[in-house]
Amino acid sequence: MIPLHRVRMSDGTAFKVIQQGQHNQHESGPDFSDAIIEIDGLKWCGNIEIHVNAKDWYLHQHHKDRSYNNVVLHVVYHDDGKVIQNGREIPQIEIKHVIDEKHYQFFSSTLKPKPKILCSYQLNQVPQELLEKLIDQRIQQRLSRKSNALEIHNNNQDPRSVSSFHFLARAMGTKVNKLAFELLATRFCFSSLVKLSFMERHRLLLLVSGMREPQNHEELMSIYDSNSLFVDGKFEIMSTASWKTKGMRCKNWLDLRMKQFTLLVGLVQDSENLIHSPAIRLIDSLKHLIREELINIEAEWTITKDFFNHLMINWIVPYMFWLANDNAATNAEIKVDLTNKAIELLKCLKPEKNITVDLWKQLGVKVNNAYTSQALLENYSEFCTQNKCLTCNIGKFLLSS
């Protein structure tokens, strides 16, 4: 609050604000209307205008606007000259000398938007060892959360192949259509779907996804008769509303993703054979399989390096971690080996390119691989955005120091 009782007019005359009037937030014209002030015992009714500098009146062209003719008080931080409007001098007060600078700075800070990472201004105080320990913790949490989020019904199918199929579907949709692709995957018996040719599989996926309508009644009936292709023998076409296209970079984004999905479904079982390979060999072998399949189907499209990296992070790695923690995998050595290989794979992959990762980089955090970027994404989504500073090791350290 400004102590107006300590303020006088520019010419030394006493004044008093009796009624501040109505704040004009959205319309053009003076800042306050219908105000009542008292100058030297005489009451004035009209408007109040506020500026940083007195000469801002002319800078803003108010002297040419008739709506400012009824201004009875001009409040300025710095009085750098008189203001004349419609042939009369506007009563003016300067408030610079009565403002508490510390109070003003604190008030200004409350108006600024909060940083997305609340500790961003203090992050440079956090020891590197503590940050590395946090990254190790968040990776375990992220992989556990991703693997636990997968809920499937095997229906007497190989649980490993079906799980890999569903992890692939979630990865194909990225953040936008993850649920839609997963819903599509739940419609099919993987063991039957994978036996189809690329063209048959692609046609079927388009029809069931709702992206393409059957060309004729015979085509529709042929699908209904293929009971073995669908979970519990039920054929159900998805609603087109399940798919989100707003903000996509190109109009054929979903069509391209469906072609890529069709191809990769045929490689699910081959990829399982590579799971126990060293990280670099696994990456190179899967790239080779994809290139060969693209040649076989004479595809005019491809899978980019960035999207392949995304698939490794969000399909292969979570699947390996799920397999390591599957109750059916009773061999303890295999569990440890798969967990270590999943982590090794993340350390061999490039970090994601997105706003959140860039935010951590701007704060001075070195993000050299997907292991670090995945951990930071987990910390941001599960702690920073939810203001869980008291349960975050970084927050605890900063609050206790």
Q: Are residues 187 and 58 both part of a single domain?
A: no
pLDDT digit string, tens, across residues 335-378: 888 999 999 999 999 999 999 999 999 999 999 999 999 999 99
Q: Residue 364 and residue 142: Cα distance in Å, rounded?
A: 22
> Which pLDDT score, from 0 to 100, does residue 344 have?
95
Picking from 111, 140, 174, the residue at the C-terminal end of a domain is 111
Let me know whether 144 and 101 are in one domain.
no
Count how many domains the chain has: 2
At residue 188, the 3 state secondary structure works out as: strand
Together in a domain, 288 and 182: yes
392 has pLDDT over 60: yes
Q: Report whether pLDDT(225) > 90.
A: no
Are 170 and 253 within one domain? yes
Shared domain check, 48 and 157: no
Tell me the C-alpha distance between 326 and 93, whole Å: 75
Same domain, yes or no, for 344 and 212?
yes
Taking CA atoms, 117 is separated from 123, 362, 392, 401, in Å, by 9, 11, 12, 18
φ, ψ (nearest 5 deg) of residue 308: -60, -45
Query: CA–CA separation, 349 vs 341, rounded Å?
Result: 12
Q: Is the pLDDT of residue 155 over 70?
A: no
Dihedral Cα 81, 83, 84, 89, nearest 10 deg: -90
Residue 80 domain boundaries: 4-111
Question: What average pLDDT is seen over the chain?
Answer: 87
| 353, 347 contact by CB (below 8 A) | no
Residue 117 covered by a domain: no
